[in-house]
Amino acid sequence: MGGKIIFWNCALGIKSKLDFVKDLATTQRPDLMFISEAEVNDCDLSLINIKGYEISVSESINGEFGVARMACYIKMGIKAKKIRVDNRLDVVAVDVGNNRFIGIYKGFKRPGSLSRREFFNLLLKHLTKPQVLTKI
């Protein structure tokens, strides 16, 4: 991996700024591009594809709010493994070689009735202990 990583808070979702996101990907050619506030649902996935990249979204797409607020574009050819994370969290975590890269979006709402401390501990639980890995 060449090592270029971009993190962008894309307020109002990827779809509203897709031209800018695509331009950033084609001009900068990052290995990983994390997009927070992605606001992606299942039917959007085919619309937000970018040539030369795979996309991984937070498992919150199947959770309480039904949208993924975190997405990560991974350049084709990068051998990345996605880490499974609780579907109440807007987190995309990938292992590339010996490195772990994590994109976290913390919105205004906490899942369920978790206190701030419980929510923080839930994040730590999923990001600090070994997880079952699956190839993206």
CA 99 remoteness from chain centre: 16
* Every domain of the chain and the residues it spans: 5-135
Please tell me whether residue 114 adopts helix, strand or coil conformation. Answer: coil
Please, which residues have CB within 8 angstroms of residue 125's CB and are 6 or more apart in sequence? none
**Closest to 58 in 3D by CA, of 33, 29, 83, 75:** 83
Question: pTM value?
Answer: 0.85
Superfamily of domain 5-135: Endonuclease/exonuclease/phosphatase (3.60.10.10)
Q: What is the pLDDT of residues 58-72, one digit of tens each?
A: 888 777 777 888 999
Give the confidence band of 135 by pLDDT, cuts at 50, 70, 90: very low
Q: What is the pLDDT of residues 35-62, one digit of tens each?
A: 999 999 888 888 999 999 999 998 887 7
